[in-house]
Amino acid sequence: MLSGEDEWVPFSRRPEWSDVKPVPQDDGPNPVVPISYSDEFRETMDYFRSIYLSGERSFRALSLCSEAIELNPSNYTIWHFRRIVLEALDADLHAEKEYVNNIALRNSKNYQIWHHKRWLAEKLGPEAAEEELAFTEKIFAVDAKNYHAWSHRQSVLQALGGWQKELDYCDKLLREDVFNNSAWNQRYFVITKSPFLGGLQEMRESETRYAVEAILSNPENESPWRYLRGLYKDDPNLLICNNQVSEVCLKILKRKQNIVLALSLLLDLLCHGFQPISEIRSAVEALRISESEPSTSSLANTICGILGLVDPMRSNYWAWRRSHLPSEVC
């Protein structure tokens, strides 16, 4: 086995593998573009195929898997076989956790590794939750939006627990970077899935305040706007009834700072039956750019016209919205 800077020893020269007949890769009689594998890779995989096909469950098989994974950590067949061998040997899964963590730190976007980690965590049970959550935090310190790590964290929370500090952790990440859309997504996951918070209905009011504060601090950040919408996605009537929502739109419109997100939300409110106060009408009218827009247009019509000009990349979309406005919209 290759260790440190030791020279790799071919399996054909290792006495402990003398009883194994390697199985070459079968590329057919006339491969169009044969891959130029290294000698080390070719021989390692030839021996792996042999023990895989024979169904050998041994510590040398486990060691061979380690060498093969080092050469290609994305090979799902090797990882699958490794799990079979681990179970057959009743191996030390804590040692396996240390092994796979080292691999994951070097290959943090490798799905096969995270799948193996999830399998391990579920085998180890609730005792593994704290360490698994801590490990994902190591990954986030380098890549705050690593999808695999976030998916793993959610699976650990649901299967093994550890919810108690998760909302505080989301808050910490958002204080460090309020543009971290992964942290916003995790926050929504926590308030809707945690068994300790009472669900969305219980958390909606306080989370609305949280989102509004984030919007007022950084109106150009789309994440809290999306988060705010998500809090009411199952009941738009509650969205139009909560004064915090229309008030934050009004404040941003008065600032004339990144008005697209505020106008877009206000348009959706109107389409759901929101009755705007005169102050909102005045704020929108003050933004009217095109003099060709008749002053008698409905507020929703005016908003679509403004959006078509200030958001030219989606001008066709806003024109479509305008043509599909409900007749009763203000």
Indicate the residue type of 212.
Answer: V
pLDDT of residue 234: 85
pLDDT of residue 292: 53
What's the rounded Cα separation, in Å, for the pair 285 and 281? 6
pLDDT of residue 293: 57
What's the rounded Cα separation, in Å, for the pair 25 and 176? 50
Indicate the residue type of 224.
Answer: P
Low-confidence ranges of the chain (pLDDT < 50): 1-4
pLDDT of residue 179: 96
Give the rounded distance of the alpha carbon of 317 from its chain centre.
27
Indicate the residue type of 37.
Answer: Y
pLDDT of residue 35: 84
pLDDT of residue 330: 63
Extract the tokens encoding 67.
């060498």
pLDDT tens sequence across 236-286: 899 999 999 999 999 999 998 889 999 999 999 999 999 999 999 999 999
What separation in angstroms does the CA of 306 have from each of 87, 98, 269, 290? 64, 57, 16, 8
Indicate the residue type of 187.
Answer: R
Q: What is residue 165's DSSP assignment?
A: G
pLDDT tens sequence across 301-310: 999 999 999 9
Phi-psi category of 125—alpha, beta or left, where left has phi over 0 and alpha has psi -120 to 50?
left
Give the rounded distance of the alpha carbon of 314 from its chain centre.
26
Phi-psi category of 162—alpha, beta or left, where left has phi over 0 and alpha has psi -120 to 50?
left
Closest CA to 73 of 40, 106, 24, 121: 106
Handedness of CA 85, 90, 95, 98 (dihedral sign): positive
| Residue/partner pairs of 74-80 with CB below 8 Å, 24 or more apart | 74/107, 74/110, 74/111, 74/112, 75/112, 76/112, 77/52, 78/48, 79/112, 79/113, 79/115, 79/116
pLDDT of residue 206: 97
pLDDT of residue 5: 55
What's the rounded Cα separation, in Å, for the pair 119 and 241? 45
Among this protein's residues, is 117 annotated catalytic?
no
pLDDT of residue 198: 94
Instruction: Please tell me the total number of residues recorded for the chain in this structure.
Output: 330
Q: Which of 97, 109, 117, 145 is catalytic?
A: 109
pLDDT of residue 169: 97
pLDDT of residue 295: 58
